[in-house]
A = this chain, B = another copy of it.
Amino acid sequence: MSDDLRSLTDLDRLIHEPARLLIVTILSTAESADFLFLQRETGLTKGNLSAHLSKLEEGGYVKIEKTFKGKLPLTVCKLTASGQKAFQGYRQQMQAFIMQTK
């Protein structure tokens, strides 16, 4: 079997998880996004979104900055360089998979 296919087993799980793939995809086009924006766009619960963002942050894929908008908390997220690279890598791996199957 082709190595491209076998490489499926080492897909980056941090990105492969659908909820995070969605988050990262949005961030890849948005330059930066706040928590509530991400929640609306993804449809995730706050709890889930918070947990996934924390994982992405731990992995170094997302930078999270907590500030205030007026008097309310504001959490702003953006993809790091490493996050962008990981996303592109994932995308390419998936593209290879698509092209090798039928």
Contact = CB atoms under 8 A, between A and B. Distances in A.
Nearest to A19: B9
A1 B26 contact: yes
A6 B97 contact: no
Q: How many copies does the complex hold?
A: 2
Interface in A2-41: 5-6, 8-11, 13, 16, 18-19, 21-22, 25-26, 28-29, 41
Contacts of A16: 16, 18
Nearest to A11: B18
A67 interface: no
Nearest to A30: B1
Interface of A: 1, 5-6, 8-11, 13, 16, 18-19, 21-22, 25-26, 28-29, 41-44, 91, 94-95, 97-98, 101
- Across chains A and B, which 5 residue pairs bring their CB atoms closest together, nearest first? A8-B22, A1-B41, A8-B18, A11-B18, A95-B98
